[in-house]
Amino acid sequence: MTPAAAPADAVPVLTRPRRTVVLPALVFAALALVPAGAFALSAGYLLDLFTRVMIFAIAALSVDLLIGYAALVTFGQAAFVGIGAYAVGILASHGLTDVVVALPVALLASGLFALVTGFVCLRTKGVYFIMITLAFGQMAFFTASSLAPYGGDDGLTVQERNTVLGLPLFEQPLVFYYVVLVALLVVYLLFRALVASRFGRVLRGAKDNALRMTTLGFQVYRFQLAAYVIAGMAGGLAGFLLANATEFVSPAYMSWQRSGELIIMVLLGGLGTLHGAIVGAAAFLLLEEWLSALTEHWKMIFGPLLVLVVVFVRGGLIGIGAALARAAGRRGPRG
Amino acid sequence: MVRARRGSAVLFTCRELLAPTVRRDGQVCDPPRNRLSPRGGGRDATIAAVPMSTTLLVVQVLNGLQLGVLLFLIAAGLTLVFGVMDFINLAHGVQYMLGAYLAVAFYGLTGSFLLALVLALAAALLFGLLLEAAVFRHLYGRDHLDHVIATFGIILFLNSAVKYVWGAAPLSLPVPEALTGSIVLAPGILYPVWRLVIIGSGLAVALLLYVLVSWTRIGMLVRAGATNAEMVSALGVDIRRLFTLVFGFGAMLAGFAGIMIAPILSVEPGMGDTILILAFVVIVIGGIGSIRGAFVAALLIGLVDTLGRSFAVDLLRLVMSSSTARTVGPALASMLIYLLMAVVLYVRPTGLFPAKGR
């Protein structure tokens, strides 16, 4: 994953292998130790909170794959999360509660939705792409709201978490926590490998200059569509886990605000770094948790904070870390 | 929402006027199922036989126009800011919300709608300029994503700040005394005066904008800026001042939309979020940077959304069973405009009237 002879215009992350190993390792080590901390402090809610953080981190990773590596700014990623969640909810309401059924259905449904919508969306560029993904996200939202047999606007309660081959493993918070952690790790490693592969290099090449990649003989559209479907399935996985974590499914999972939050998480952490998405999701949700405990009007603090981060910090939290780490004023990962 | 009263013409109740009701969480509600088709019963039988009576059609077209001009007022500023400065301003919706709140506040102080209108407009303009100077000025030329995150932060702040200052409960603004009630458009067709005032003022603003943009020096610079801002700057125009001007004007238009709609819609936090997305749909369909496109697309969206919500169930009933139509209809009506946008972008990937000469 560390090509020594990276092309001159490759994302600089790849040319600095040490940082891309150390920081993610630290992040995952910290996540693995959260349950120990939760028990030491006898703060059981921490387990729930960080389960949530990791689930959103998976969704944020899928957003980072598209925005950070393919310059496909998607404003409808929450739809895939919702589809994954609804797969769990709808199957459960018909008595199908095993992972063996629910997970493949969640992945296939979200992947299929990505394939069909991506086919249309990828015809457009830039801002128009943002808006057309938003349009499909809203269509999914309104479809979910109209599913009268499955709760409609009010959403759907999932009676019990999915079983694993008949065993109620997900019911134990600690087991479920590590299941989510493993899922996050798998998605992260998969994306890391994907980004470093030939496939990833074509995507990044098209991000910088789609015309050049086309003239080099790559059918950019196909690569982008594949990336869109992969990201959609990762979103579906996040939805699958979210439905299990909250034992509730609602159209609100697909709202455009949720899609916006996913983008913010990625930008907050640092775009085009992958582990930045995890850090961003954690920062966003922990800040939300902490500030909302502080005051009911926490958004009055959170909003200006976002503005300050954008105006004064480039490259998100990872960017700050990188800037601090490198005393010499070289360019951050965003470039 | 429109309620058909049996035996007389269509009447309205004050708080139920805008076709899509906007819920607290910012989502557009489905219209109550079947609200336009009377349920059984002797006297209704004649109406049921002609579900799309002319009266209803006329009224709904007018409602659609009203939503359309409202969207235009918001989209005009948005498309200019987007087209001229290449700046994605998600905070445009909260400026609309702020206009409504300011109108309520100034009305409470002065007791006169006209005074409230003038003061709120001035305050909206001032606030827009302040926001531009404090935040947006630092972000021109940056990545679009930076715009998104910063203006999203402003949305969070203002939605919350409004709740902090005025409370979470919806506020209301009375319709000006002289403009209450309805007038008879044609025998059997009554329509509320205030809605006609909204349509009229929206069309007036459209005309004003047309004159400004097509026939004045400022308008020429704005058009040139939308096509190629760098070139305009290179020709010696103070592009920063133009930006500030356009931004302030856009904020004032959004505020104006908020003020005009306040008498018929509940004024509450988050009311700008839904309208913002609709306005984005409008400018994307119209072509970013094009006022003409925004106008056409706004009326199109207003009409499609309103008529879709009114007649989707009845139309679907022609091709499917009544109960299926009642389930599918409202969902289809809600997503109709997004469907329209997807189709338009599929056929014309840069909107109907692309302004950029690329």
| CATH number of the domain encompassing residue B89 | 1.10.3470
**How far does the CA of residue B251 sit from the closest CA of chain A (Å)?**
19
From the list B155, B157, B342, the residue facing A136 with the nearest CB is B342
Band of pLDDT at residue A327, cut at 50, 70 and 90 = low
Residue of A299, A302, A317 to mutate for B, most B C-beta atoms under 10 A: A299
Residues of chain A contacting residue B152, judged by C-beta atoms under 8 Å apart: 260, 264, 306
Query: In this complex, is the C-beta atom of A142 within 8 Å of any C-beta atom belonging to chain B?
Result: yes
Q: How many folded domains does chain B comprise?
A: 1
**How far does the CA of residue B269 sit from the closest CA of chain A (Å)?**
12
Euclidean distance between CA atoms A137 and A135, whole angstroms: 5
Determine, yes or no, domain membership for B355: no
Q: Mind listing the domains of chain A with CATH numbers?
A: 12-325 (1.10.3470)
The pLDDT value recorded for residue B48 is 40
Residues of chain A contacting residue B341, judged by C-beta atoms under 8 Å apart: 131-132, 135
The pLDDT value recorded for residue A19 is 57
A/B interface, count of CB pairs below 8 Å: 135
The pLDDT value recorded for residue A282 is 94
Beta carbons of A146 and B30 less than 8 Å apart: yes
The pLDDT value recorded for residue A80 is 96
Determine, yes or no, domain membership for B112: yes
Nearest chain B residue (CA) to A265: B149
Determine, yes or no, domain membership for B352: no
Per-residue pLDDT reduced to its tens digit, B174-220: 888 888 888 887 777 888 899 999 999 999 999 999 898 889 998 88
Determine, yes or no, domain membership for B48: no
Q: Is the pLDDT of residue A74 over 60?
A: yes
Q: Which residues of B292-322 are buried (b: 16+ CB within 10 A; e: fewer)?
A: bbbbbbbbbbbbbbbbbbbbbbbbbbeeeee
The pLDDT value recorded for residue B15 is 34
Determine, yes or no, domain membership for B358: no
Residues of chain A contacting residue B33, judged by C-beta atoms under 8 Å apart: none
Query: In this complex, is the C-beta atom of A298 within 8 Å of any C-beta atom belonging to chain B?
Result: yes
Band of pLDDT at residue A163, cut at 50, 70 and 90 = confident
The pLDDT value recorded for residue B26 is 38
Beta carbons of B30 and A145 less than 8 Å apart: yes
**How far does the CA of residue B152 sit from the closest CA of chain A (Å)?**
7
Q: What ipTM was reported for this prediction? A: 0.77
The pLDDT value recorded for residue B42 is 35
Give SS3 for B35: coil
Beta carbons of A309 and B346 less than 8 Å apart: no
**How far does the CA of residue A217 sit from the closest CA of chain B (Å)?**
24
Nearest chain B residue (CA) to A145: B331
The pLDDT value recorded for residue A18 is 54
**How far does the CA of residue B162 sit from the closest CA of chain A (Å)?**
10
B residues 22..41 contacting A (CB < 8 A): 25-27, 30
Determine, yes or no, domain membership for B289: yes
Query: In this complex, is the C-beta atom of B277 within 8 Å of any C-beta atom belonging to chain A?
Result: yes
Query: In this complex, is the C-beta atom of B334 within 8 Å of any C-beta atom belonging to chain A?
Result: yes
Beta carbons of B342 and A132 less than 8 Å apart: yes
Band of pLDDT at residue A332, cut at 50, 70 and 90 = very low
* Cross-strand bridge partners of residue A248: A157
Euclidean distance between CA atoms A109 and A105, whole angstroms: 6
Residue percentage of chain A with pLDDT more than 70? 91
What is the SS3 assignment for A161-213?
Answer: CCEECCECHHHCHHHHHHHHHHHHHHHHHHHHHHHHCHHHHHHHHHHHCHHHH
Range of the domain at B139: 28-37+56-347
Query: In this complex, is the C-beta atom of B135 within 8 Å of any C-beta atom belonging to chain A?
Result: yes
The residue with greater pLDDT, A198 or B48, is A198
Which residues does chain B have with pLDDT short of 50?
A: 1-52, 357-358
**How far does the CA of residue B338 sit from the closest CA of chain A (Å)?**
5
Per-residue pLDDT reduced to its tens digit, A234-279: 999 999 999 999 999 999 999 888 998 999 899 888 888 899 999 9
Two tokens, residue B338: 């997004």
From the list B27, B160, B331, the residue facing A146 with the nearest CB is B331
Residue whose structure tokens are 């309520």? B104
Determine, yes or no, domain membership for B15: no
Helices (H), B113-192: 113-134, 144-166
Per-residue pLDDT reduced to its tens digit, A200-238: 999 999 888 888 888 988 889 999 999 999 999 999 999
Euclidean distance between CA atoms A155 and B281, whole angstroms: 27
A residues 235..294 contacting B (CB < 8 A): 252, 255-257, 260, 263-264, 267-268, 271
Query: What mean pLDDT do residues A13-37 have?
Result: 77
Query: In this complex, is the C-beta atom of B157 within 8 Å of any C-beta atom belonging to chain A?
Result: yes
Residues of chain A contacting residue B284, judged by C-beta atoms under 8 Å apart: 127-128, 131
Determine, yes or no, domain membership for B11: no
Contact A55, A245 (CB under 8 A): yes
B residues 199..258 contacting A (CB < 8 A): none
B residues 254..273 contacting A (CB < 8 A): 273
Beta carbons of A300 and B157 less than 8 Å apart: yes
Average confidence score pLDDT of chain A: 86
Contact B280, B290 (CB under 8 A): no
Query: In this complex, is the C-beta atom of B156 within 8 Å of any C-beta atom belonging to chain A?
Result: yes
The pLDDT value recorded for residue A286 is 93
Two tokens, residue B185: 């458009």
Residues of chain A contacting residue B349, judged by C-beta atoms under 8 Å apart: 123-125, 128
* Cross-strand bridge partners of residue B189: B186
Query: What mean pLDDT do residues A291-300 have?
Result: 85
Residues of chain B contacting residue A271, judged by C-beta atoms under 8 Å apart: 145
Task: Please tell me what DSSP assigns to residue B17.
Answer: -
Nearest to A148 by CA among B314, B39, B330: B330
Euclidean distance between CA atoms B200 and B187, whole angstroms: 22
Residue whose structure tokens are 């599913």? A147
Residue whose structure tokens are 């693995």? A32
A residues 168..197 contacting B (CB < 8 A): none
What is the SS3 assignment for B258-324?
Answer: HHHHHHHCCECCCHHHHHHHHHHHHHHHHCCCCHHHHHHHHHHHHHHHHHHHHHHHHHHHCCCCHHH
Residue whose structure tokens are 């074509």? A202
